[in-house]
Amino acid sequence: MRYDVCDRCGVKIPEGGLKYIVRIDIVADDDNIIPEDITDEELDAMISGIKEFDPDMLERDVHQELAFILCKRCKEQFTRDPFNTMKDKLNIDEGWSGELH
Ligand SMILES: [Zn+2]
């Protein structure tokens, strides 16, 4: 039987099962790529510096698209704390330290 795998926890999601696709579109803030008050010499230096980079790496630096499959549980956790800052866990820890006093 065909199945997908949750990219976060590894659980198998059977074909037709509930799953979510998380698409992440990372785009460089182009305000910061070329300063407005740049001189021609600085621009030339910047361009020659860029030529030394691998074009694929340069493309990833400016724009990158990622996609992940998540199960329902991981989707709930991801939407609550996408960067895994453990905010929920910190609240629990504070509660525990409160009990010690
Ligand atoms: Zn999962």
Q: Indicate the domain borders of the chain.
A: 3-34+63-100
- Give pTM, 2 decimals: 0.60
pLDDT tens digits, 46-101: 777 766 777 777 777 788 999 999 999 999 999 999 988 876 665 544 444 444 44
Instruction: Give the per-residue pLDDT at 77.
Output: 94
Give distance in angstroms: CA of 13 to centre of ligand 1: 9
Q: What does the CA dihedral 57, 62, 66, 72 come to, rounded to 10 degrees? A: 140
CA 11 to centroid of ligand 1, rounded, Å = 6
Residue 101 C-alpha from the chain's centroid: 39
| Ligand 1 center–CA 63 separation, angstroms | 27
Question: Quick one: DSSP state of residue 33?
Answer: T
d(CA 43, CA 81): 40
